Each structure stands twice: as C-alpha cells, then as structure tokens.
Amino acid sequence: MNNEKLSLARLSVPAIPGLKLLHRGKVRDTYAIPDHPDKLLVIATDGLSIFDFVLNALVEDKGAVLTMMNHFWLTKLEKMGIKTHLIAAGAEVDQYLPEVLRGNTELQKQAMVVKKLMMIPVEFVVRGYLTGSGLKSYQETGTVCGHVLSRGLCDGDELLHPIDTPTTKAEEGHDEPLDAAEIRQMYPEETALLLEIYAWARKFMRQYGIIIADTKIELGRDEEGNLYVADEVLTPDSSRFWSYDQWAQSRLLEKPKAPPPYDKQLVRNGGIHEGINKLDPSRLEDIAKAHSWWVPPELLEATTATYRYIFWRLTRARLESYQALELGINVAPRRRNLSIIFGSRSDIAKVKETLKALEDGEFLSGIAENVQYHVVSCHRNPFDLMRFVAGGCGGTDAIIAVGSKAFALPGVLDAFLYAHGRTIPVIGVALGKIGSADRAAAELSISELPGTPVVMDEVNKKVYAGEQGLRDALHRVAFAELPPLRPRKVAEAEFNINPHEYL
C-alpha cells in the first residue's frame, strides 16, 4: 500500500531492521526471510482500518490478539486436514530469523512465518446472518451477491442457510461484491472450503455462547496446485462476533437490530458516526479526512478490551497465558489492581476462607499484591462512595462488590462510575444461604438491572454467589477477561411531568 494512504500512526510502526520489507498493508507488514525464499515473515501490527481507510490510531494488544487467534484457528484447521500457510509462530519464529532478531518477545507476539503462495484474487466471504454491507444490498435490491433472500428480514436476522458473498480484493478503493454463482463456478473447491470452515466454526463457537455472523478468508495455492488457507482466519478483524444471548434478546425488539459487536464493528460504528463510511478511499482528500479523525481514547480502550475478551471467550485462555504456554514466549502475567467492597462488616466473616486464600497468594499471579478492602454502604455512606469514585477508586482496575439482601451496592457503584466517566468493571457477588430470601434478593438486585451493567458469570448465565462465587470472581479477575463495558442509553430525567401524556 502506498505510504500516502497510510496514517502517521501506522507509519510510526518501525520496520524490522535487517529484513527486506516486501509489503506494508493496512494492518500487516510482510518481509522476506534470508535463506528461506519460499517463506515469508508476517507481522500483525496494532494498526486500525475501517472502510478501506487506515486510521490515525493504534490499538494496544491488537496485533498480538490477531496473531494468537490466527494461530489458534489455523492449528485447529490443520488438525481437521485443511492445509494452511502456517509454518511457525511465537518463539519458533526464531529459527528462521537472523541471530540478532532472536529472543525478541515483542516480535514473537506479533509474528508468523508462513508459506509463500500464489494468492487467489477474490475475498471469499460467507454470511449466516444479515447485517453490514449485506443488509444494505438486501434493502436496496432484495439480493446479496445474486442470492435472492426472503422478504421482511431485519438487521441481525439469521438466514435460512449460509450464503457465499464474494468480493473483489481491491488494491485501490472499496472491495466490490461479485456474483456468487459465477465465483462458485470459477472456484468450486475454494467456495466449498469456505462453507466448510464456516459451518465448523459456527458449531464450535456456539458451544461458548458466541455467534459468528459472517467471516472472510483468503486462499492461495502452492506450485503443485494445492489449496491453502492464508492470511488471517476467524479473527475480530475478519469476522463479526455476537453473544448468542444478546442476539436472542435483540430479536424481541420492535425493530430488531444487530446486537453489540465483539469485533472491529465497534470502531466501524464510530466511523459511521463521523461519516467515514461515505468517503472514497481512492481520493486523497477523503484519505486526509479519514486520517484527521481523532479516534477517542475510550473507543481505543474499548477495542482492546473487546479483542482480548473475544480471544478469551473462544480460546478459554488469557492472551498472556496462551503466549507463554502454547507458543513459548517469555511474557509476564498480566496483573490487575483489585478493590473488594463489602456492604457491611458482617459480610466479611461469610467469606473468610476465600479471603485467606487471597491473602496467602492463591491468586497472586494475576492480582497485584496491594488488594484494597473497603466497607461502604450505598445507603448509609452515599457521599463516601461518591468521593471514592470521584477520586479514582484508589487506582483499581476492577471492583468486586460483596453483600446480601436488597444488594444495591454494585448497581449504584456502577452508576457512579459511569457518571464520573470511569471505565472500571464491577463484579457483583451475592451472599446469603442458598434458597434464602437474602440470597434471592441479592441475586435479583444484580441480574435485574437494566442492561445488566454489573458483571455476572455470562458464560454459565448466573450471578456470582456465595463464598464459591467470590472465589470464582477472584479467579475471573486473575486469570480471565472481563466483558467490555456496553454502550449506554441515557434517558433524560423528567421533572414535573403531566402523566396524562403517557397514558
């Protein structure tokens, strides 16, 4: 890609010294490897692109997530007998690099050695749900890439069966839709492989409560004509991921729409608000406009959280654990500062065994040693709670709120955090004997909040409860990922209203 199309942030990613840079793409850099002419070194950077524009921003951990997730799926496809271009990742890339580049953990996090292929000039796209550009085409013509769809479909609706919706692979401007029947005739093996991968991925992800709405893959052939999966596969840059539960809830709306995304759509939505989707990537003036967009830091932070979350949700591993255990990269565990807030002193005695385990270091590899403990009642100490939030909560990364009865503390605390612009997740832990009114009231106080802003065990669809619930919440903070905070609908307060207007 021409440098004039790359943003300053993307250009700021340094080239690897001593290697020949063959191609600098929107996100990936490709290098020749000395003494290995049949192989390439591909680096997934933290670069960010939407609507064929490279934004003037970098997303922390993005390149590492893309590389690790790509490795996860490619190795699974190979076990299914599907050929991929993967040769080495993680610490194993060192054996293909000059000695001076070996042992570089930052490089190992984002690098893959791959087989050089003759790439097929088509983006192979499959959709199981109607959204995005497919929805736009459907609304205009009733078809998507020649597929005639049922009438009355809404954003996010499941299709009767997955459809192949190929596009061009444009060097300049937008990718353009192609006629599926023609591409299927030209590339029957490739189309069959696309649909096979999607069917398998869809079933696999459904086990973990995730919908893969659509995805694209790139394919290539070696000199003998063998077909390979190349580039990236099933990542949040190349796919749309939704929570199944949130999708099911979205179908009940009067005007259904796609649920919150766990992928790059998060940034696309911001770009749509700025009008970037209406710009032409072949015009220098429009490129300059796209580059001038100051991507809000909170959107970049949310994107990092989203990419890390979907990686954990689908691989069941935290990014750093996968890097260390699966790929031999020498990375330190990621540790979080934690605050535990009790609604009353009496709640502390109910979970003393778990607190002892925490103090004895059971969760030490993932939680920083300086755990803060507080007793604050949102009813008796509202101003103290507000001051705690306004002051930054002591620099904590996550809060576990523990209590019983009509347990308003987690929800009130979350509301105060939101009002002060703080993006600190709150996990609620309900106490009380199993089957008691205290326990039931506490669980409902957490689960029935509009929009469920307080973190629950969304995988098992339950509130963290009891001493085991606190232990599970601590394990979640230490060794897993917390869900990214959802966008909120803010309703204006109304005073002195006329109720007859609403009747």
Q: Which residue, 315, 334, 353, sits at the end of a domain?
A: 334
The answer to the question of residue 502 being in a domain is no
258 plus 361 within the same structural domain: no
Task: Report CA 346 to chain centroid distance, whole Å.
Answer: 39
Work out the number of other CB atoms within 10 angstroms of the CB of residue 471: 20
Half-sphere exposure of 320 (CA within 13 A, CB side): 12
Question: What are the beta bridge partners of residue 123?
Answer: 167
Residue that is last in its domain, among 270, 303, 334: 334
Tell whether 101 is covered by a domain: yes
Q: Provide the 3-class DSSP secondary structure of residue 309.
A: helix
Same domain membership, residue 351 and residue 222: no
**How many domains would you assign to the chain?**
2
* Residue position matching structure tokens 């209590």: 403
Distance between CA 338 and CA 394 in Å, rounded?
9
* Buried residues in 173-194 as b, exposed as e (16+ CB within 10 A): eebebbebeebbeebeebbebb
- Tell me whether residue 486 is in a domain: no
Chain mean position to CA 121? 28
Residue 35 belongs to some domain of the structure: yes
Q: Which CATH number goes with the domain that contains 76?
A: 3.30.470.20
Determine the Cα–Cα distance for residues 452 and 486; give it in Å rounded to an integer: 9
Same domain, 143 and 154: yes
426 shares a domain with 317: no
Q: How many whole angstroms separate alpha carbon 157 and alpha carbon 146?
A: 18
What is the phi/psi pair of residue 288, to 5°? Answer: -60, -40
Q: Is residue 326 domain-shared with residue 404, that is, in the same domain?
A: no
DSSP β-bridge partners for residue 40: 32, 114
- On whether both 376 and 291 belong to a single domain, the answer is no
The confidence score (pLDDT) of residue 170 equals 66
Pairing between β-strand 86-89 and β-strand 111-115 as defined by DSSP bridges: antiparallel
313 shares its domain with 365: no
Contact 262/241 with Cβ under 8 angstroms?
Answer: yes
For 25-35, b/e burial (b = at least 16 CB within 10 A) is bbbbbbbebee
CA distances from 389 to 196, 298, 383, 441 (A): 50, 18, 10, 25
Q: Are residues 27 and 15 in the same domain?
A: yes
* Degrees, nearest 5: CA angle 429-459-203: 180
| pLDDT at residue 451 in the model | 86
Instruction: Please report, in tens digits, the pLDDT of each residue of the chain (503 residues total).
Output: 777 899 999 999 999 999 999 999 999 999 999 999 999 999 999 999 999 999 999 999 999 999 999 999 999 999 999 999 999 999 999 999 999 999 999 999 999 999 999 999 999 999 999 999 999 999 999 999 999 999 999 999 999 999 999 998 866 556 788 999 999 999 999 999 999 999 999 999 999 999 999 999 999 999 999 999 999 999 999 999 999 999 999 999 999 999 999 999 999 999 999 999 999 999 999 999 999 999 999 999 999 999 999 999 999 999 999 999 999 999 999 999 999 999 999 999 999 999 999 999 999 999 998 899 999 999 999 999 999 999 999 999 999 999 999 999 999 999 999 999 999 999 999 999 999 999 999 999 999 998 889 999 999 999 999 999 999 999 999 999 999 987 777 888 889 999 888 77
Cα 332 from Cα 102, distance rounded (Å):
18
Q: How far apart are the first and last CA of the chain?
A: 60
**Domain assignment of residue 68, yes or no:** yes
Same structural domain, 373 and 235: no
- Answer for the pair 154, 76: CB distance below 8 angstroms, yes or no: no
Residues 329 and 382 in one domain: no
Q: Are residues 474 and 330 in the same domain?
A: no
CB atoms under 10 Å from CB of 385, counted, come to: 20
Cβ atoms 165, 177 nearer than 8 A: yes
Residue at which a domain ends, from 281, 306, 334:
334
Answer yes or no: is 7 within a domain.
yes
Domain assignment present for 492: no
Residues 315 and 188 in one domain: yes
CATH number at residue 378: 3.40.50.1970
Task: Confirm whether 495 is domain-assigned.
Answer: no
Burial bucket for residue 253 (CB in 10 Å: 0-12, 13-18, 19+): exposed
CA-to-CA distance for 466 and 429, rounded, in angstroms?
7
Q: Which H, E and C letters describe 360-382, residue by residue?
A: CCCCCCCECCCCEEEECCCCCCH
| Domain around 222 | 1-334
